[in-house]
Amino acid sequence: MEAHEMYREHILDLYKHPHNFGTLKAATNTHREFNPLCGDDVTMDVIVEDGKIRDIKFHGKGCAISMAAASLVTDAVKGKPIAEVKRMSKEDLLNLLHIPVGPVRLKCALLALDTLHKSIGDAK
Partner 1 sequence: MKITNDNAKELRNDFPIFKRKINGKPLIYLDNAATTQKPQRVLDAIQRFYEQHNANIHRGVYQLSEEATEQYGRAHAVVGKFLGANANEIIFTRNTTESLNLLAYTVHAIMPKRKHIVLTELEHHSNLVPWQQFAKRHNMSIVFIPMKKDFTLDYDAAEKLIGGDTAILSVGHVSNALGSINDVKKLVSMGKNAGAITIVDGAQGAAHVPVNVKDINCDFYACSAHKLFGPTGIGALYGRKELLEKLPPFLFGGDMIKTVSYQDATWNDVPMKFEAGTGAIADAIGFAEAIAFIQTIGLENIAAWERELTQYALKKLRLPGITLLHGHDSAGIISFICEEIHAHDVASLVSDDGVCIRGGHHCAMPLMGKLGIPGTCRISFSVYNSFEDIDQLISSLAKIQHMFKEGGKT
Measured from the CB atom, the residue of 34 and 92 that comes closer to partner 1 is 34
Is 41 a binder of partner 1 (CB under 8 A)?
A: yes
Report the residue from 27, 48, 65, 76 that binds partner 1 according to the rule CB under 8 A. 65
Q: What is the DSSP string of 29-93?
A: EEEEEEETTTTEEEEEEEEEETTEEEEEEEEEE--HHHHHHHHHHHHHHTT-BHHHHHH--HHHH
Distance CA 44, CA 123 (A): 14
Residues 66-85 contacting partner 1, CB under 8 A: none
Q: In the bound complex, what is the minimum distance in angstroms from residue 94's beta carbon to partner 1?
A: 17
Nearest to partner 1 of 6, 85 (CB atom): 6
